[in-house]
Structure 1
Amino acid sequence: MGMQATSKGNMPVVLLKEGGSETKGKDAQKNNIAASKIVAEIVHTSLGPRGMDKMLVDSLGDVTITNDGATILKEIDVQHPAAKMLVEISKTTDNEVGDGTTSAVVLAGALLENAESLIDQDVHPTIIVDGYRKAARKAKQFLESISDTISSNDKNMLNKIAKTSMQTKLVRKDSDQLADIIVKSVLAVAEKDSESYDVDIDDIKVEKKAGGSIKDSMIVQGIVLDKEIVHGGMPRKINEAKIALINTALESYKP
């Protein structure tokens, strides 16, 4: 129902639109925490080596099977504002890091769950947030102290890192071959910037072709143009080519 308040002149002032409602204090906190915990519970069973895949059916009946946290949260239509923030966490982690989306959401859910018990003990939310910030700084220091720097020449270790990311995915069986392709392709486009390396993932083009198996995957040092040939006499592969950059369409039109 619409919420009414009265001003000094006893004039009724309608603040919220029809159907709007207001929750305050403990009720609002509990509601937000409960919604966030539900989102974390949805993805937490897909985490780790024993993580299970989820089958998502959208409104059109299309089925997606995945255990990738970012994909799951992208596909489900979340209405609750606090739950939407957890979906945003997974999107940001995916954009910035490219992995660990499920872990980030599960961790956020666990932090909120612990915050709930502190709120029940009458600890003010601002103090809890402050404590979490300090804990995050401490955790970062600890991670930096136990982390190792890997040189770009250590192909063996880079392969192991790439394989680790695939162990919980459907491509686990082919992780040896795929890890090798990934490391080679990333090193091919990596640019050295003083001590560190900068890699733009957009410099690596992934072309998918139906019909083959994962074992048919290969790395092409060059450019793959996924287009139908206009004429049967055109070559399908060119080595040592000269490349013209033309800023206009080259499709042939039927008159």
Structure 2
Amino acid sequence: ALAAARAKLESLATDNGKNKKAFREDLLRIARTTLSSKLLKHEKEHFATLAVDAVLRLQGKPNLDYIQVLKKAGASLKDSFLEEGFILEKKIGVGMPKVLEDCRIMVANCQMDTDKIKIYGARVKVDSFE
């Protein structure tokens, strides 16, 4: 029975890997089926599109850790969106600019003690600007 079921599935299978439109529609159908729950029933189409867009942005890379979901209180599910890039949640200090354009950002993987920086100053050595 298992062999017969597998043979039937293989005969019905289609490969839409080369056809981007058909491949996307296949992914949307899979996402809609997966999201058929009571919680997301009314926003199923919206979240299916978000999920497929996020996966397609990986461009075949197998690391799903590149996709992060941030939850924020105070808005409806329909307000959910997909943001390309990096979201940094930080409260802006008094007197600091709220918008910066054409700036360079350093991401440091270490603690920066602001009190010591105020007293002794800070120097940063950069190996690469990539």
Q: Give the TM-score, by structure 2 length.
A: 0.68
Contact 1:186 1:199 in 2 (8 A): no
Deviations 1:192-237 (A, max 9, x none): xxxxxx43211111100011110110011110123x3251344556
CA separation in 2, counterparts of 1:140 and 1:237?
57
Contact 1:190 1:200 in 2 (8 A): no
Which of residues 5, 8, 20 is equivalent to 1:153? Answer: 20
Which of residues 47, 52, 73 is equivalent to 1:178? Answer: 47
Which of residues 242, 247, 253 is equivalent to 2:109? Answer: 247
Match for 2:66: what amino acid? Answer: D
Q: Do residues 229 (structure 1) and 91 (structure 2) align?
A: yes
Alignment of 1:51-200 (within 5 A): 135-151=1-17, 153-154=20-21, 155-191=24-60, 198-200=61-63
Structure 1 spans left out of the alignment, 5+ residues: 1-134, 192-197
Match for 2:8: what amino acid? Answer: F
Could you tell me how far 1:179 is from its partner in structure 2? 1.2
Bigger proportion of residues as helix: 1
Q: Which runs of 4+ in 1 moved over 6 A?
A: none
CA separation in 2, counterparts of 1:158 and 1:186?
9
Match for 2:69: what amino acid? Answer: V
> Considering only aligned residues, what root-mean-square deviation do their CA atoms show, in Å?
2.8
Deviations 1:142-188 (A, max 9, x none): 32222222336123332222112112342011011111111111111
Match for 1:201: what amino acid? Answer: L
* Identity %, equivalent residues: 30
Equivalenced residue count is: 113
Q: Give the TM-score, by structure 1 length.
A: 0.38
Deviates more, 1:199-208 or 1:243-252: 243-252
Structure 2 spans left out of the alignment, 5+ residues: 117-130
